[in-house]
Each structure stands twice: as C-alpha cells, then as structure tokens.
Structure 1
Amino acid sequence: MEKYLYSAVDKKNRKVKGEVEATSLAQAQSILRSKGLFIVGLEKIEVMPGWLKWLKSFNRVKKNDVVHFTRQLSTMINAGLPLTTALSILKYQSSPALGVLVDEVLREVEGGTSFYKALIKHTEVFNRVYLSLIRSGEAAGVLEKVLARLSDNLEKQAEFRAKTKNALIYPAIITAAMVAVAAIMMIFVVPKLTSLYSEFGAELPMMTRILIGISNFMVKTIFLWLFLLLIGGYVFSRWYKTENGRLWVDRRVLKIPIYGKLKTKIVLTEITRTLALLMEAGISIVEALEIISGAADNEVFAQSIKAAAKDVEKGIPLAAAIGQFEYYPPIVSQMLAVGEETGKVDEIMFKLSKYFETESEQAVKGLTTAIEPIMMILLGIGVAFLVIAIVLPIYNLTSQF
C-alpha cells in the first residue's frame, strides 16, 4: 500500500485535506470519489525503502532533537528571520542526524517547495499532527504563531513523559534486578551447592528440595526457554503491528488494575491537548479527529476517535459522539457539551488536558507509593526463602561435626 496526499472539496463545498492509502493513483482517486469528494490535488508521498530505514535507524533523529529544533525555529521566525535563513543556521546547530535532514529541507524550500511539502518527505521524524499544523499555519500565513504554539506543546509533552518515565523507572529497575539476581542464583549458585549437599549426604529440608527442583528445571531448559522467548517475541511483535493485534493488547492494557486507569489518563492528556492545538490552528473538527486517530498511543482510543469523526461528519455533536464510549470519563462529554454550546471547544480541550495531566501525575505518584512497599515485601520474602533454603542445610552440616 502507498500513501497519497490529497486536497479536495466535499459535498458541502468545504475544503478538506488529508492522506489516503491505496495500491495505485487510480485507486486513490476512486476511494476519494466514493466518499463524495471533488479532487483538487493528489500526489504520492515518497516512502523510504525498508532497508534504508533500517540503516538510518542507527543514526536516527531523537524526539528531543525535534523539540529543540522547533523551539529554535520558532524563536528565529518570530524574530523576523526568513525561513531559509533560519534553516541554514539550524542545520549547523542541530544534531548530526537532524542537521542532514534540515539541509535537505532547506534545499527543497530554496527550490520553491513549500515548507510543509519539504517536511512531509520525512514522516519518520515529523508525525501527522506536526505536519498538519505546519500545513495549516503556512496556508494561513501564520507559521510563526503555529511554530510557537507547537514548540510549547512539544515541550509540555516531553516534560510530562519525562515525569511519568522517571516516576516508573525505579520500580522497573528494582524488578529487573530481582529477576536477574534470582536467575543467577538458580542457574549458577544453587547447582554448586547441590553438589556440596550430595557430597556430604545431607538431609535436605522441603524448602531446599523445592529450590533445587526449580534450579534443575531452569538449568536443563534454559536454552529452550530462550529460544521460545525469542520466537514468541518475534511473533508477538509482528502480530502487534496489525490493527487487530494492537486492539486486543491495548484493550487489555486498559483493564489492568491501577495501571489501566493511569494509562487512560495519560492517553486522554495527549488526545485533548493535541485536539485543542489542531482546532486552534483552524483545522476542522473532523479532520482534527482523523489526525489524532492516527497519533493516539492506544488502538482502543484510536478506533473510538475514528468512529467519533464519522458521527460528527453526519452532524452528531462531538460530546454525544465521544460520550458513547466507556473509556472516556463523563467529564469529557460534559465539558465538550459546554464547549460546543459556547463555541470554545479548543479552550475546553486545553483545560481538560491540564486536568488529565494533573490527574496522571497524581496517579503516577500514587502508583509508585503503592508499588514500593509491595516490592520491598516481595524482595524480603524472596531473600528470606533463599537464605533459609541455602543456609539451613549448611548449618545442619556444620552442626554434625
């Protein structure tokens, strides 16, 4: 399947823009016409070959690089510098990988290509939300304002993700350390102790026999489990890339006790903030929803947003379209209803994003506060089990002499 960028006019004489997937240009035209659209422009989005993507992945542009690039570009454009001048400066101030990309974009822009069309060739770096905002700002002649708002949004996203990541990294490290230590003990230490116990003919307690049984099982089957883990991981990663796979996994993630609610709040923070940003930039609600559905970090929410976009296109209010889905708290549809009545949906979305961001931060703190004592208890039980199972037979042996 190939991607095509289109601009068209719908039955209500409204201008619409977006992307469509098709096997050929003719099929893309057929798909758009079947939706009742009059095609104004249609061009293929050049996609980088898979092997070239793989090579470039070793020197890829990081998310923080994009954040810094957008802020610096915004500052320069708002200071009155022409776009080409700003880009020519930034290609030397950016990271090596981003510097090469900026140089390519600069050559395109100097050749008469619009900034948006130059960026769309690098969808592996700039996502659909980013590109849509640039397109909208450039078309309306307010690129400097859009860049300022976009850089603010990217910085908030980066800060929010960093807070969430840092709060969860400690429990993750402790868990990984516990698993690693347990594996080393079972595979390397316990077998040596087993031979010692056998040599002296010691009578082993039940706990020690259980430990030795687990160790023998792990030693004998370690390569089988590693093989199955690799195969299973590969199969799962391939399956998860399918829409049904993502939907199945993401739906169950949202049902995990405690973490599911946290994930819901994190996703809603991103959705509401992005929707507010797109609408503020003048993008229609239907197009904004379609863009967000492709950027949502959970397939359950992505599918619900797609369905909501179709309902809104039929004339159903956004509050009612969103309110029918169980994963959205009632406050979302209630606040949206107020926004639609007052004509300030974008402002309401910004307020909702701040609300969910605060709720997410509190939920993360609550999660880490609850996890830490539980992990300490489990660690204590594990250590006590190992100590008793290993030391008790040794103590019994020494007491015989």
Structure 2
Amino acid sequence: MPIYRYVGLDAQGKKRRGTVEAADLQRARTRLATQSLIVIELSDLTRKERPFFPSSFSMERKSRPMAMKTFLLFVQQFSALLKAGIPIVRALQLMADETRDKRLKVILIDAIEHIAAGSTLSSALSLHSGVFPPFFVALIRSGEQSGELATALAQAAEFYEKQHTTREEIKSALIYPAVITVFALSTMLFMLFFAVPRFAGLYTDFGVSIPGPTQFLLDLSDIVRTYGWLIAAIPLIMWASTQLFRHASFVKRLRFIGDQLLLHMPVMSGIQIKGAHARLARTLATFYRAGVPLTQALRAGQELLGNAIYRRSLKGVIERVEGGEPLSRAFRNTHTWTPLFVHMVEIGEATGELEETLEKLASFYEQDVAQTVTRFKALIEPTLIVLLMVLVGGLMLLMFIPMLSMYQQFV
C-alpha cells in the first residue's frame, strides 16, 4: 500500500508532519481529515514525488496579478461557500483542493496558516500584494469589521463579474476589426511576396509596357521582398520596447496620445466614454455600499479605468474631494464627465440616496455599452468585408491591366 508524507495543521493551528498509509491520494486526505488535520502538503513516497506544494516561491511570481477569470472564479466560489455557512478556513481548504492554478493553491494554503496563527482573512490576503487587488482586500476588511463577510464577498463577486463583462464587451468590439485588419495585411503581403513577382517576370518576358500604378505595385513588391525581415521586425521591436520601458515617460506619453485618439474616433469614442462611466459608477456604488471611505472608492475606480484621460481626470476629482468639495462639484469642475453623470450624482447627494443613484447609473451605462457594441459589430462587419474585397480586387486589377496590352499584341 502506498505511503504518503504529509504536512498539516491540527485543531490548535500547530503544524504537524508524518506519514500515512492509504490506497490512493484521496483516501489519504480522508484519513487525515478524520484526525482533524488540514492538509498543506501531501506526497507519495513510493513514487518519490516531490511535495505537491513548494515550500517557497519567488517574490516575482507572488506579485504578478492573477488572471481575471481565475480571480473571478475564486471570488464567486468563496462567496458561495461562506453563504452556505462553511467556515473560512474550511472554505479556503476546499478551494485549494479544487483549483488547478498552482500559484493560487499555494497562496490559499499560506492564508490558512496565517489565519490559524491568529491573523484575519484581510491581513492574510494583503501579504500577497499585487496578486489580489488592494480594493478587494479593502472590501474584505470592511466585511470583517461589520460582521458581514459573506455579504461583502457577494458584493465583490457581483462587482468584479460586471466589471469583467463590461471589459469583455469593449474588448470584443476591438478584436474583430483587428482580426480583419491583420487578415487584410497578410493577404496583401502574400500577394506582394509571391503573386506580384510572377506577374512581373511574365511582363518582362513579353516586353509589355507597364502603366504607372502597376509599376508602383511592382516597386512596392521589390521593397517588401528586399526589406521584408526589417518590416516584420519593426512591430516586434516596438512591442519589446514598450515592455522594457513601459514605465518610461515617453511610453506613458504614447499611451496617453493613443487614448486621446480613441476618444475622438467615431463609435469607439462612445464605447470608451460609456465604459469609463459604467466602471466608475459600479465601483463607487459597490464600495459606498460596503462602507469604504469615498476617497478610497475613487482610487479604486482610478485603478480600474482603462483610459489614461479618465484616470487623470479622476485624479483631479480625488484631489478636489480631499480638499472639501462635494463629489458632484468635483466631477463638474474637471470637465470630462458627461452632464447626465454629474447631474445624477448631484441628485443622489441632495436626496441622500447616492448609493441607489450610482447603481442606476452603472446599470444604465452597462446596458448602453452592450447596445453600442452590438450596433458597432453589425456595422463594422460588412464594412470591413467590403474594404477587404476592394483591397484584394484593386491589387488584382492593377496586375491584370498590362495583360490588356499583351492581348492587343496578339490580336
């Protein structure tokens, strides 16, 4: 029968080590659970496997943000388990057993150890800075202080799910045009590399006079074939530069300019503006309901806004609110936010129902983003297909024009 080495925590939170005999890994876990042990490490000695959970991992991996889908699933599962009345440590252990993300597994086990040693959940999670969003930890801390941790987690699950939905809708609006553009460029490059040179050889053999537009296309083909490696390297160099120097001022300036351009593009500007308002309204509503201070909720919104223009504007709002201005006036004085948004915040402040007003604003803008994206897709799909047909058809036409001269020579 296989022998398993284990490391676990007993009922007093003390670490215990030893071995246990069992038919398989699951039975070993069950046997240890009957001894009131929470398993941290479990390895099969007969197969000479390494411990499943590494004793340590690099700070770099600790600080790398968790994938949004993984994080969202974690929050939803945690919320459901606490709502079902399962204790925090047991819920963390269940999620650690179920998750396929090894890094999350190690983090959850680490959190169990700290909680067993007397720490709060928010303190244990805050040790993994960069993995969990700081404002998620703030929501957890608020829930602990109010005694409504399950409610706080449910709010966090709803908040991040809607944020993820809005982000995915905006992303989907950008992906389709990008895919069509890449396909069009690939088609054009393929023709310039392979098709155009064959026609050029044919025209040279027959001594056909080549009109100006076709000659331009042939020259372009020669340039692409000669310097193709350099043309292909340019986007790679640009991408590598932005990664290496992403904190440099010139890269930030380029991103700022790019975000400005997005706010002036037809249709895309509407998606960007509505998306920014939806994210901020949802953030403020969630944190306001959880009892998080207003300036901290605004900073959470600043972190979640994707557009640099709106992040800078919200920074000005935070400074004004900290200086004593009402929230609605701070928004109005930055001249970035829509009149509807400012007016509704003003009404919420005047009636004392800011949370409900922000919830309505968030729902309104989220629905508006979804409708705008749907209309944009319906418009852009046929437009891009027509443009692709015109591009390919234009290239073919330029190549076949000299054939008319060849035909006239033989007639």
TM-score by length of 1: 0.80
Instruction: Tell me the CA shift for residue 76 of structure 1.
Output: 1.0
Partner of 2:317: 308
Partner of 2:26: none
Partner of 2:338: 329
* Structure 2 CA distance for partners of 1:297 and 1:167, relative to 1, 3 Å: closer
Q: Does 1:218 find its partner at 2:243?
A: no
1:197 to 197, 203, 216: 203
Specify every segment of 5 or more residues in structure 2 that has no aligned partner in the other structure, as ranges.
1-56
1:179 to 180, 185, 188: 185
Partner of 1:39: none
Aligned equivalents of 2:256, 2:271: Cα separation in 1: 18
Aligned equivalents of 1:239, 1:325: Cα separation in 2: 30
Partner of 1:62: 67
Amino acid at match of 1:388: L
Instruction: Tell me the CA shift for residue 64 of structure 1.
Output: 1.3
Which has the larger displacement, 227-236 or 136-145?
A: 227-236
Q: Does 1:250 find its partner at 2:259?
A: yes
2:94 to 70, 89, 97: 89
* Structure 2 CA distance for partners of 1:123 and 1:297, relative to 1, 3 Å: farther
Aligned equivalents of 1:88, 1:231: Cα separation in 2: 45
Q: Does 1:351 find its partner at 2:357?
A: no
Alignment of 1:31-110 (within 5 A): 49-50=59-60, 52=61, 61-97=66-102, 98-110=104-116
Specify every segment of 5 or more residues in structure 1 that has no aligned partner in the other structure, as ranges.
1-46
Amino acid at match of 1:354: S
SS of the residue 1:353 aligns to: helix
Partner of 1:282: 291
Instruction: Tell me the CA shift for residue 277 of structure 1.
Output: 0.5
Amino acid at match of 1:376: I
State whether residues 274 and 292 of structure 1, in contact with CA within 8 Å, keep that contact through their aligned partners in structure 2. Answer: yes
Alignment of 1:372-387 (within 5 A): 372-387=381-396
Instruction: Tell me the CA shift for residue 145 of structure 1.
Output: 0.4
Aligned equivalents of 1:248, 1:166: Cα separation in 2: 22
Aligned equivalents of 1:80, 1:225: Cα separation in 2: 60
SS of the residue 1:215 aligns to: helix
SS of the residue 1:148 aligns to: helix
Which has the larger displacement, 273-282 or 299-308?
A: 299-308
Q: Does 1:154 find its partner at 2:154?
A: no
Aligned equivalents of 1:64, 1:369: Cα separation in 2: 27
Amino acid at match of 1:158: H
Query: Matched residue pairs, number?
Result: 350
2:402 to 385, 389, 393: 393
Determine what percentage of the aligned residue pairs are the same residue.
28
Amino acid at match of 2:143: G
* Structure 2 CA distance for partners of 1:395 and 1:117, relative to 1, 3 Å: farther
For the aligned residue pairs, the C-alpha RMSD in angstroms reads: 2.5
State whether residues 269 and 354 of structure 1, in contact with CA within 8 Å, keep that contact through their aligned partners in structure 2. Answer: yes
Partner of 1:14: none
